[in-house]
Amino acid sequence: MKVVTTSHLTALFMQLIILDRDEPSPKITAAIDGLNYLPTYLTTEPATALELLEEIEHFILQHGKTRC
């Protein structure tokens, strides 16, 4: 079972904001929007929320690697 903390979500949100500031992209905006809805999904659709969280984490990792 994966535990999702507020601090983890905040860290992801901040990383996305920094990426968006450096290189604005519709994909980053979509990831930010998805992250905004994640707390609701965690209570109503936990499986969907965890899939979304994994996609956002993967996106941040991939985008960060391509920027280096």
Q: What stretches of 1-68 show up as alpha helix (H) in DSSP?
A: 6-22, 26-44, 46-67
Q: What pLDDT shows up at residue 64?
A: 72
pTM, 2 dp: 0.75
Domain that holds residue 27: 10-67
39 — phi, psi (to 5°)? -60, -35
Please tell me the total count of domains within the chain.
Answer: 1
Assigned domain for 40 exists? yes
Model confidence pLDDT, tens digit, residues 23-65: 888 988 888 888 888 888 888 988 888 888 898 899 889 887 6
Q: What pLDDT shows up at residue 5?
A: 83
Assigned domain for 55 exists? yes
Q: What pLDDT shows up at residue 68?
A: 43
For 9, counting Cβ atoms within 10 Å of its Cβ (0-12 exposed, 13-18 middle, 19+ buried), the class is: middle
